[in-house]
Structure 1
Amino acid sequence: MKHQKIRWGILGPGAIAQQFAHDFQFVTKGELVAVASRSKERGEAFAKEYGIPKVYNSYEALYADPEVDAIYVATPHNFHLEQSSAALKAGKAVLCEKPITINPAELEELLVVAKDTNQYLMEGMWTYFLPAIQKAQQWVDEGRIGTVHHIISDFGYPVPFDANGRMFNPDLAGGALLDMGIYTLAMNWLFLKKDPDQFHVRMSPAQTGVDEEVTMHFEYADCSSVLTTSFRCKLPNYTHIIGEKGYISIPDFWRAKECSLYEVEERVDHFVDDRGGFGFNFETEQVCEDLLAGRKESAIMPHYYSRKLQEWMAMVAKKF
């Protein structure tokens, strides 16, 4: 990149884009210069709130802006392939909110576009960039809990049923697995990095037929994982990595601010980050560094990891 700072545009000013934009005040190597929305009023309100100088009423106008280096795609899952592809073809780097696509075939199509255009593409698994998650990885790598025997991860909130809303509408790729369950799978992959020998799935459908609650049991030769996601109820929302010598506990793991290390019942180490925002700035800053260095792929969230998450979600969904 020619510039000292990466110039960003946001595509789709929804709830998660608000958190992403809020955290730009903590990003040192990037600046937020544009937002695109199908709704003129919504786009202008978003731009005013976050001090964004340019507002576009079409996504095509954002793609065409020569003063935008990178685009954050924050629309519903089923639009990700089309919009990320269009941004890449327009010469933009793309950070696409998770899940990056809704099935493995779509991901492969998108990766071909990234390769053909020689542009940067990353799935927005922001959790992997949080200091508390990276500290937990460090503890595991240092052998502080010994060999990992169990991963237990759950993520659930009661979501009021709306047949036409994004969460429950099958036409918008609704369901708990794609929306929240991907985070539990991401934790399992991060700390085990291997496919299960066998697995079992229990799914409870909503009235629209999408998965309202999913429990996944992954079995390996030397360990096991229990992963649960739900629109029905508030779950503890912890990830526990349990080893022969102790365990690591991560509350609200998908947005983790802290983690604790235990030996039997005694907490022997504790980490808390001192961030000022939601935590999206860690991901954004790393993408900026990648782009400034000329990299086309993230080392923390490489394409291979996105492939694995897509494979696993498809594997689980086949059991529904």
Structure 2
Amino acid sequence: MKNKDRINWGIIGLGNIANQFASDLLLIEEANLVAVASRNFVKANDFAKQYNCQKAYDSYEALFVDDQVDIVYIATPHDSHAELSIKALESGKHVLCEKPLSLSYKDAVRMTEASKKYNRFFMEAFWTRFMPSVKEVLEKVNHGIIGEVNYVKADFAFYADEASGGRLFDKNLGGGALYDIGVYPLFLSYILLGIPKEIIAKSVCNENGIDLQTSMILNYENAQAILNASIVSESDMKAVIGGTQGHIQLNAPWFMADGYSIVKDNQEKIVCLPNLGKGYTHEAIECHDCIRNNQMESQFWSHQNSLELSKIVEEIKLQIKLPF
């Protein structure tokens, strides 16, 4: 596949995120969406027509054995990620799996081990890692542009109506703030500061034990991260990276920032870096590059990165006593 001009995609789990991803694939000349699958054939067929895709399946397994499909994008609910990723890898497909990889560190390990066993590319779909703004900010931080980073503040919050039900409030599907959106601020802290020495987490939960809002303090040797996730409130969703010689602010919403600002020596420099489409394009292009170069993982978001973040999330899950 190293010299293949176009990469053929299959998508399973045809909800809102899958629609955004499919829209972005249309912007990539080398990408073909060749098959989609849902447990509901009408839904699959409608999705396929919307994105000019020739094949619609009413089972995920049928897509996994389609010889035309090179890589599968898994956008199903969190609780199914592990088993479906492993099945796809067993079937010889490369896999891009939505975050979080799974609801347990143990399953995350199984998924990365399956990638190695079946010699197929596998990556957690942390699209934020491949945003031009985030990549450039991380490079500048690593080159010491704001000195030593000792403070990170980030949140992800929106209001969802619990009375309307849905996946976010279903504990069987891994609902709640931590696993759905809390992984984003934790990701930012991780790529900037690494593995914390101590984690303190507190949540507001509903009667079913789902966390509606979770606040986290991550302590490092010489730094702290102050993080929050909420599905019952709104925020400005800006991220601040503080250092000994200045600070950087990622534009809101920071997880898909189209630019950033650097404040240093009482001067502010504003940088605009628009994303291609919504921004899922950048992680898809990374998948293409890795597949062509016969890599099983990305150097920018490796298996080890996913596992270390999964372990951090699991520690918080235990602290706030999530029921899964």
Same fold by TM-score greater than 0.5: yes
Letter in 2 for 1:67: Q
> For 1:212 and 1:245, how far apart are their aligned partners in 2?
36
Instruction: Give the structure 1 partner of residue 227 of structure 2.
Output: 227
Q: State whether structure 2 residue 188 is matched by structure 1 residue 187.
A: yes
Deviations for 1:27-76, whole angstroms, at most 9, x for unmatched residues?
A: 23321111111111111111111111111111111011001000000000
Instruction: Give the structure 1 partner of residue 245 of structure 2.
Output: 245
Residue 111 (structure 1) shift: 1.9
Residue 163 (structure 1) shift: 7.7
> For 2:199 and 2:12, how far apart are their aligned partners in 1?
37
Residue 162 (structure 1) shift: 4.3
The answer to which of 284-293 and 107-116 deviates more is: 107-116
> For 1:122 and 1:31, how far apart are their aligned partners in 2?
19
Instruction: Give the structure 1 partner of residue 36 of structure 2.
Output: 35
SS in 2 for 1:26: coil
Instruction: Give the structure 2 partner of residue 101 of structure 1.
Output: 102
> For 2:261 and 2:210, how far apart are their aligned partners in 1?
35
Q: State whether structure 2 residue 200 is matched by structure 1 residue 200.
A: yes
The answer to which of 75-84 and 24-33 deviates more is: 24-33
> For 1:277 and 1:189, how far apart are their aligned partners in 2?
26
Instruction: Give the structure 2 partner of residue 144 of structure 1.
Output: 145
Q: State whether structure 2 residue 123 is matched by structure 1 residue 113.
A: no
CA contact (8 A) 1:163 1:208 kept: no
Instruction: Give the structure 2 partner of residue 301 of structure 1.
Output: 301
> For 2:150 and 2:316, how far apart are their aligned partners in 1?
22
CA contact (8 A) 2:276 2:282 kept: no
Q: State whether structure 2 residue 269 is matched by structure 1 residue 275.
A: no
Residue 88 (structure 1) shift: 0.4
SS in 2 for 1:232: coil
CA distance 1:143–1:200, shift in 2 (3 Å): same
> For 1:93 and 1:70, how far apart are their aligned partners in 2?
4
> For 1:274 and 1:302, how far apart are their aligned partners in 2?
25
Letter in 2 for 1:125: F
> For 1:134 and 1:10, how far apart are their aligned partners in 2?
26
Deviations for 1:265-308, whole angstroms, at most 9, x for unmatched residues?
A: 531x2222233410000000110111011111111110011111
Residue 319 (structure 1) shift: 1.2
The answer to which of 270-279 and 138-147 deviates more is: 270-279
CA contact (8 A) 1:28 1:285 kept: no
Instruction: Give the structure 2 partner of residue 133 of structure 1.
Output: 134
Q: State whether structure 2 residue 284 is matched by structure 1 residue 284.
A: yes
Letter in 2 for 1:58: S
CA contact (8 A) 2:24 2:278 kept: yes
> For 1:5 and 1:276, how far apart are their aligned partners in 2?
19
The sequence identity of aligned pairs, in percent, is 32
> For 2:171 and 2:315, how far apart are their aligned partners in 1?
18
CA contact (8 A) 1:163 1:169 kept: no
> For 1:138 and 1:197, how far apart are their aligned partners in 2?
24
Letter in 1 for 2:180: D
Letter in 2 for 1:13: L
Residue 142 (structure 1) shift: 2.2
Instruction: Give the structure 2 partner of residue 57 of structure 1.
Output: 58
> For 2:49 and 2:134, how far apart are their aligned partners in 1?
33
Instruction: Give the structure 1 partner of residue 82 of structure 2.
Output: 81
Residue 246 (structure 1) shift: 0.7
Letter in 2 for 1:3: K
Instruction: Give the structure 1 partner of residue 13 of structure 2.
Output: 12
Unmatched 5+ residue regions in structure 2?
none
State the TM-score, normalized to the length of structure 2.
0.95
